[in-house]
Amino acid sequence: MSRAQAESVIKNIIREIVQECASKGHSLSETLVAFMVKAVVLDPQNEFNVDRTLTKDDVQKLIKHCVERLVDIRSPGLDTIKMQVYFDMNYTSRKEFLDEHRRVLETRLLVTREITDSRARTREELESLYRKIVSYVLLRSGLGSPTDIAVVREATAALQSVFPQTELGTFMSLTKRDKERQLQELTFIVSGIRLFNKECGKGGEGIDDLPGILNEAIPATTQNVDIEIQNSQQAAFRFTALVERFQSLDPPVSPSEIPVQLLKESLINVRQHEAFLRILLNDIIGCAQQVEMLVNQLGARMEQLQQTVQSKTAVPTAQLLIHLSSTRTQRDLFPEELLIPHLENVVIKTDEQRIHETMGNRVNPEDFMDNQQIQWLFPETTKNYDRLLLQYRGCCGYSIIKHDRLLLPGNPDIGIMQYQDKLYVFSSREAAYEFAFHPDKAIALVAEAAKKSPEL
């Protein structure tokens, strides 16, 4: 018999056992039945020869043995097998669970394709597209229901502050991948606005206090699991004592109502139960440690944001985006990471987008011949151009001065200014000229700005 034929025979046997058990009032999974078939065949007491093809009598014998064991509701051994099969089929690591959760979430976000494939033109179509983006943000973040009017209004207001409807034209001109990337960024930003407003007591409609819930649930769960472990241990202790007592007699005997074999099966059952509970307990303890770390990080980030925005009517976008990038790891446990507070009429651009807009618009070194201390470096004439140590962590010094500590990424393609053995980049050609014409003054003004904001 070929391998394929053997597999077909086994599948037919499993189906027949499932049906016969069902006729006796027992609904069993094929996985459990397959486990039992293998156990019965390998049990030497049943005298199956695994090296030869099963005869018709063997098949009927196998089905009979399996059904008898599977419908024995008083069997601790069957209960243990069910427990093992269930645990094997359902237990997963925290990482695997989160990966699967994200995968399922992606498959359920059908609105993503509707957004990225949209060719909206009329006012009504554009309004519909904008509503879909709001729904996407809420579904992806999990911060409130997209069917709750109050939640939708709050999310819409937050989205409008950073991505007004007038920007839909620019959005629709992007590639599909860039659209998906921007949708994710908008989710981070809008979620951050709502989380921050919730912390300030000015919003957060429909957002659960997940850190608070976990801080209550984890200790309670730990306590319950501990109690179950203790109960299993106590049962194991009792079963062990009874087995030892009965077997110490000469000859070994046991009361008819408490067979030794039944005690042994029960002991195995509670030990297995304890083992699985300890696996879960270790996961809970690890989760508790992770929660504590993330709650501390969340608290510190909230405090930093509070300090950043207090007594200010407007806050530079980039300052708050720094907080965004440093809290995204918190998505692993909390809804969405802490992002930025409410900003009005600000179009969020990626660093890549800003750099792309200024590509090819370089400085002319000849314009600075009067200052021999200034040298301009370009990628085609400088080794390891992308590895150079840049001042201000690669941000534009002129934007820090001109726009009150606003951090904008510099574009090295414009030209890197070397001055007194230090290197500077700029966000535009105009910024480079303004800074380079009076470098000493500009550097001093950046230092003054840093004194006002120590985080710089």
Concatenated DSSP letters of 301-361: HHHHHHHHHTT-S---HHHHHHHHHHHGGGGGTSSS-------SS-----HHHHHHHTTT-
Residues 381 and 411 in one domain: yes
In a domain, 88, yes or no: no
How many domains would you assign to the chain? 4
Question: Which residue type is seen at 225?
Answer: V
In a domain, 99, yes or no: no
Helix axis angle for 76-90 and 56-70, nearest 10°, is: 90
Higher pLDDT, 258 or 120: 120
Residue 264 has pLDDT above 70, yes or no: yes
Residues 201 and 275 in one domain: no
Residue 353 has pLDDT above 50, yes or no: yes
Residues 207, 194: contact at Cβ < 8 Å?
yes
- Residues 417-456: pLDDT tens digits? 999 999 999 999 999 999 999 999 999 998 887 776 544 5
- Residues 373-384: pLDDT tens digits? 999 999 888 888
Average confidence (pLDDT) over 232-253: 79
Residue 327 has pLDDT above 50, yes or no: no
Residues 322 and 196 in one domain: yes
Residues 364 and 422 in one domain: yes
Closest CA to 239 of 270, 209, 217, 275: 270
Residues 356 and 448 in one domain: yes
Where is the domain boundary, 323, 348, 373? 348
- pLDDT computed for residue 315 by the predictor: 47
Residues 216 and 284 in one domain: yes
| Average pLDDT in the chain | 82
- pLDDT computed for residue 430 by the predictor: 93
Residues 137 and 178 in one domain: yes
DSSP 155-183: HHHHHHHHS-GGGHHHHHTS-HHHHHHHH
- pLDDT computed for residue 422 by the predictor: 94
- Range of 44-58, 264-278, 415-429 with top mean pLDDT: 415-429
Q: What is the largest CA-CA distance in the chain?
A: 111
- pLDDT computed for residue 266 by the predictor: 85
Residues 279 and 322 in one domain: no
Higher pLDDT, 176 or 335: 176
DSSP 388: -
As given in the structure block, the two tokens for residue 64 are 């009979």
Where is the domain boundary, 21, 46, 71? 71
Range of the structural domain that residue 229 is part of: 210-310
Count of CB atoms within 10 A of residue 61's CB?
A: 16
Residues 342 and 203 in one domain: yes
Q: Give me the sheet containing 416-419, strands edge to edge.
A: 374-377, 416-419, 422-424
Report residue 265's pLDDT band, with 50, 70 and 90 as the boundaries.
confident
- pLDDT computed for residue 252 by the predictor: 67
Helix, coil or strand: residue 381 = helix
Residue 199 to residue 190: CA distance in whole angstroms: 14
Residue 200 to residue 338: CA distance in whole angstroms: 13
In a domain, 76, yes or no: no
Query: What percent of the chain has a predicted confidence (pLDDT) above 90?
Result: 30
Residue 258 to residue 392: CA distance in whole angstroms: 79
- pLDDT computed for residue 441 by the predictor: 94
In a domain, 355, yes or no: yes
Location of structure tokens 């079963």: 239
Taking the alpha carbons of 81, 84, 86, 88 in that order, is the dihedral positive or negative? negative
In a domain, 92, yes or no: no
Average confidence (pLDDT) over 103-111: 81
Q: Which of 51-60, 130-139, 301-310 has the lowest mean pLDDT?
A: 301-310
Q: How far is CA 59 from CA 17, 26, 41, 64, 164, in A?
A: 11, 21, 10, 9, 71
Long-range own/partner contacts, residues 239-246 (CB < 8 A, 24 or more apart): 239/263, 239/264, 239/266, 239/267, 239/270, 240/267, 243/267
Residues 166 and 195 in one domain: yes
Question: Which residue type is seen at 70?
Answer: L
Residues 271 and 335 in one domain: no
Helix, coil or strand: residue 416 = strand
Residue 333 has pLDDT above 60, yes or no: no
Residue 75 has pLDDT above 90, yes or no: no
In a domain, 104, yes or no: no
Residue 415 has pLDDT above 70, yes or no: yes
- pLDDT computed for residue 251 by the predictor: 74
Residue 288 has pLDDT above 60, yes or no: yes
Average confidence (pLDDT) over 109-131: 91
Q: Which of 16-20, 201-205, 416-420 has the lowest mean pLDDT?
A: 201-205
Closest CA to 235 of 278, 280, 269: 269
- pLDDT computed for residue 435 by the predictor: 94
Residues 435, 398: contact at Cβ < 8 Å?
yes
- pLDDT computed for residue 117 by the predictor: 92
φ, ψ of residue 410 in degrees (nearest 5): -85, 155
Average confidence (pLDDT) over 308-321: 51
In a domain, 97, yes or no: no
Report residue 413's pLDDT band, with 50, 70 and 90 as the boundaries.
very high
Residue 88 has pLDDT above 70, yes or no: yes
As given in the structure block, the two tokens for residue 332 are 């692993």
In a domain, 447, yes or no: yes
Residues 184 and 234 in one domain: no
